[in-house]
Amino acid sequence: MAKKLDTLRLLAILILFFSIIYCYLMVLSPKTIPYYLRFWPLPKNTNILVMGVDVTFDKERHVQIKEIGRTDTMILLNINNNNFKVNMLSIPRDTVVEIPGYGWQKINSAYFLGGPALAKETVEKFLGAPVNNYIILNTRALIKLINLMGGIRVYVDRDMYYVDNWGGLKINLKKGWQTLNGDQAHGFIRFRQDALGDLSRIQRQQEFLQTVLKKLATPVMLLKSPWIMAIAFENIKTDLSLKDILYCLNFARALRKDDINMSIVPGSFAVGELNASIWAPDLDSLHEIVNKYYSRKLLAKLEPRKIPSSAITIIDNSDDFDSVRQIMKILYKKEYTIVNVSSQKKPNITKTQIIAQKGDETGARKLGGLLGINNVYVAGTGDMMSDFTIVVCSDWRQSLEKTVIR
């Protein structure tokens, strides 16, 4: 009897001991808790699409997230519970993708056109990776978070001045190390009046995120955690459940700089319709990154591409996305520059053809041989900005099959 009691007591002490250690680990380093011992963890590999929505608010109004607006920032997060790493793939807002049902457009309008579901679908189709969940962030969340943290110290890489009265955005920052409050930080990560535009903004955002995570890891922030959670609950729209959000927050708290792999969708700048700048993705390099779970660190590490001689516009005339994608792949292999991909239809054209805008017929023939297109015209009806315009119709796929068989 006494012996049984003793084992019981021992068991109780063991359980107590275990729970003490568990509590400490939960607070101090959640990463060290084995996966199967965690409370309601996310699946081992979860892809979450984080979208920062381009909605501006009045200062007085406590507006919850609006349904409309364009996604200025799109990041695909891959939370890897196995090796406790996060992979981030930033998708530039000007990336040209096929939005299901809407044709070729900039990716930032996917959310505007069809809400989170369409944005998810678009990214899934574009990257070929599943997107499990989405998080929509409001700029207000950022402002409040930075104010709560008592400002954040960052290096401002250039003088920034930009006033957008309509959007209520005012940026006025000087070069050098600065401690930014919420509004200034908001301006800092939204500024994109650089030569590289959105790309330098993405780099800035990634640096900024590292700084924020570093500061979030300090013990003082643990005391402020209820307020952080309140900000999160108020300004986030997501299909994750409450316990998943809490899990993510705890996970984010434990992240260090080298736990995060960041990359940007590779591609090249191009000028689209109405002189709007676009980002033409390099699909091969992108798929390589996706397959590696975004293991590449930064765009700078990618090989620089040679500047090819001719600029090309692709017009998708029959919603044949696969064909356009294939053409883009072929052209990228041969290092042509794709200036624009458009779904603005030319109803008078029914056969796949190449239009040589600037009179270079031999070049157009060469391109036609590469793609299996026999109809080559020298005309001024193509895109004004590029050397060649490829109008892709539904017959291209058949002609390609023929050339492959031959």
Partner 1 sequence: MPAKRKKYLVPALLSVLVAGLGQVVKGDAKKGLRTILWMYMGFPIIIIGSSLLNAYIFLAIFATFVVIYPIIWALNIMDAYSTQVRIRR
Judged by the rule CB under 8 A, the positions of this chain that interact with partner 1 are 16, 19-20, 22-23, 26, 39, 223, 225-226, 229-230, 233, 242-243, 246
Q: How far is the CB of 243 from partner 1 (least distance, A)?
A: 5
Q: For residues 54 and 131, give the distance between their C-alpha atoms in angstroms, rounded to a whole number.
A: 21
Quick one: which H or E segment has residue 203? helix 198-216
**Residue found under tokens 């209520």:** 168
Q: How far is the CB of 224 from partner 1 (least distance, A)?
A: 9
Q: How far is the CB of 34 from partner 1 (least distance, A)?
A: 17
Q: Which is nearer to partner 1, 155 or 233 (CB)?
A: 233
Q: How far is the CB of 105 from partner 1 (least distance, A)?
A: 35
Q: Which is nearer to partner 1, 193 or 241 (CB)?
A: 241
Q: Which is nearer to partner 1, 241 or 381 (CB)?
A: 241
What residue ranges in 101-200 does DSSP mark as E strands?
A: 103-106, 133-137, 152-156, 160-164, 169-173, 176-180
Long-range contacts at 163-171 (CB < 8 A, ≥ 24 apart): 167/56, 168/56, 168/57, 168/58, 168/59, 169/56
Quick one: which H or E segment has residue 369? helix 361-371
Q: For residues 382 and 342, give the distance between their C-alpha atoms in angstroms, rounded to a whole number.
A: 12
Q: Which is nearer to partner 1, 75 or 240 (CB)?
A: 240
Q: Which is nearer to partner 1, 9 or 334 (CB)?
A: 9
Q: How far is the CB of 137 from partner 1 (least distance, A)?
A: 16
**Residue found under tokens 């109004």:** 61
Q: For residues 27 and 17, give the distance between their C-alpha atoms in angstroms, rounded to a whole number.
A: 16
Q: How far is the CB of 62 from partner 1 (least distance, A)?
A: 15
Sign of the dihedral defined by the CA atoms of residues 300, 289, 269, 185, in that order: negative
Tokens read off for 203: 């780099």
Quick one: which H or E segment has residue 339? strand 337-342
Q: Which is nearer to partner 1, 202 or 232 (CB)?
A: 232
Amino acid type, 271: V
Q: How far is the CB of 16 from partner 1 (least distance, A)?
A: 6
Q: Cα dihedral angle (199, 202, 204, 208), rounded to 10 degrees?
A: 180
Q: For residues 166 and 346, give the distance between their C-alpha atoms in angstroms, rounded to a whole number.
A: 36
Q: How far is the CB of 164 from partner 1 (least distance, A)?
A: 33
Q: How far is the CB of 246 from partner 1 (least distance, A)?
A: 6
Q: Which is nearer to partner 1, 39 or 161 (CB)?
A: 39
336 — phi, psi (to 5°)? -80, 160
Q: For residues 72 and 94, give the distance between their C-alpha atoms in angstroms, rounded to a whole number.
A: 9
Q: Which is nearer to partner 1, 243 or 257 (CB)?
A: 243
Q: Which is nearer to partner 1, 20 or 276 (CB)?
A: 20
Task: Calculate ∠ Cα 17-20-21, nearest 5°.
Answer: 90
**Residue found under tokens 């042509």:** 336
